[in-house]
Structure 1
Amino acid sequence: MNTQLNDGDLVVDIYPLSGYYFGSKPAAAASKDETVADRTMRLRSNYDARGMRISVLAVMLVELFKQPHVLLLQSENCIYNLPGGRLRPGESDVDGLKRKLLRKLTADDDNNQTNWEVSECIGSWWKSDFETLPYPYAPNAPKECTKLYLVKLPLNRDFIVPKNFKLLAVPLCQLHENRKTYGSIIAGIPQLLSRFSINMVSTST
């Protein structure tokens, strides 16, 4: 769990990358090819039917070379994303994020055996329209909200991802303001984590 310090800071324990196993499972279904106009029309139709789209994403930290790293999914087209996805209607943030992590990062026969410790929401990003870039504040009548949750990892874990994705550990310093490569949301993670004290736990005996 996160530990409260006297000065109000939060301590997050992270563990060496060497304690985690990375395997693969059959490739996930490829996204349908669509033009920007088609995607906008689809999002608009979904908004009219269900209201604002809400997505939840996991920020998971590991230690490598004495530096904190974030786990990112990289697709075959070299697009980087945080693990997670869109909520179902009426689904809570925590339940939805756990469902997405089980589907994307565990074996297909896991049967909910893997427990994901979802901690606090560390930031939210909003879209005022279907084509706009996300912003870290809520506009009037937002069309989409993306929430970032800190997910605490145990000392050891197996990550099983679809073959058409890679799960990479990327150093925080590489993400900082690197919007061109990672997009606004991922590039903003270092700043969101600035209120935390990251404790890199040594597992050597």
Structure 2
Amino acid sequence: MSQTIILYPLSNFTFTTKEAQPEEDPSVAARLQRLQNNYEDYGMRRTVEGVLVVHDHGHPHILMLQIANAFFKLPGDYVKPGEDEVEGLKKRLDVRLEPTSPPYSESTDNWEIGDCLAQWWRPNFETFMYPFIPAHVTKPKECKKMFLVQLPEKKVMAVPKNMKLLAVPLFELYDNSARYGPQLSAIPHLLSRYNFVMQ
């Protein structure tokens, strides 16, 4: 039984800016080194990301952050050991996209987190992640979960000054791992079980 998801037009959403949020790591190698250091202290990293869907010209689009004109990512981040994933994702979405200055900063707890769409596993301290745990891996280093985020009819989002928020159409993501990587290019498959109703 496929679920019905209501999508609102991109034009319903207001985008402002807020203070820059520099990346913690200057390079991929530095990020993997920090992952290794954290693994020794805390064990497997758990990362949560939100798939925010809107529509434009009658076609579903995913809201993604673009960093340094080259790197695309979903809003989200890793959660602390013992932290609930859904609550953690709400907090990470607040940090990334909630306005911090009036008149928009009054709203709280307005992220509606839906289904977990996918789990990706990082078997080693390297860039590759898989949608399964390889047979020889007993201690994966990271588990990343993508959750569907049901957006309200209208919302104000504040984007850090050092990032762009882009609405990327599903047809652009589909079968385009060369540009977006295997995780983001899989999103059209993950969303194919839903019926979208464009408002």
- Identity between Structure 1 and Structure 2 (%): 41
Q: TM-score, normalised by structure 2?
A: 0.91
2:117–2:147: 8 Å Cα contact kept in structure 1? yes
2:18–2:161: 8 Å Cα contact kept in structure 1? yes
Displacement of 1:28 after TM fit? 1.3
Displacement of 1:49 after TM fit? 0.7
Displacement of 1:35 after TM fit? 6.6
Partner of residue 116, structure 1: 111
* RMSD value, Cα: 1.5
Residue 120 (structure 2) pairs with residue 125 (structure 1): yes
Displacement of 1:194 after TM fit? 1.1
Structure 1 residues 40 and 184 mapped into 2: Cα distance closer, same or farther (>3 Å)? Answer: same
How many residues get paired? 193
Q: Write the distance in 2 (CA, Å) between the matches of 1:39 and 1:66.
A: 38
What residue identity is the alignment partner of 2:123?
S
Q: Write the distance in 2 (CA, Å) between the matches of 1:32 and 1:150.
A: 27
Partner of residue 26, structure 2: 33
Counterparts of residues 7-156 of structure 1 (less than 5 Å)? 8-34=1-27, 36=29, 38-109=30-101, 110=105, 113-139=108-134, 140=137, 141-156=139-154
- The CA deviation string for residues 28-82 of structure 1, in whole angstroms up to 9 with x for no partner, is 134342472x443322121111010110000011010110000000012421000
SS at match of 1:89: coil
Q: Write the distance in 2 (CA, Å) between the matches of 1:111 and 1:52.
A: 35
Structure 1 residues 166 and 125 mapped into 2: Cα distance closer, same or farther (>3 Å)? Answer: same
What residue identity is the alignment partner of 1:42?
R
Structure 1 residues 132 and 33 mapped into 2: Cα distance closer, same or farther (>3 Å)? Answer: closer
2:61–2:168: 8 Å Cα contact kept in structure 1? yes
Q: TM-score, normalised by structure 1?
A: 0.89
Residue 161 of structure 1, aligned match among 152, 159, 162: 159
1:102–1:112: 8 Å Cα contact kept in structure 2? no
Q: Write the distance in 1 (CA, Å) between the matches of 2:28 and 2:169.
A: 33
Q: Write the distance in 2 (CA, Å) between the matches of 1:164 and 1:43.
A: 23
Which runs of 5 or more structure 1 residues have no equivalent in the other structure?
A: 1-7
Q: Write the distance in 1 (CA, Å) between the matches of 2:187 and 2:10.
A: 19
Q: Write the distance in 2 (CA, Å) between the matches of 1:145 and 1:138.
A: 10
Displacement of 1:108 after TM fit? 2.0
2:63–2:168: 8 Å Cα contact kept in structure 1? yes
SS at match of 2:116: strand
Structure 1 residues 147 and 164 mapped into 2: Cα distance closer, same or farther (>3 Å)? Answer: same
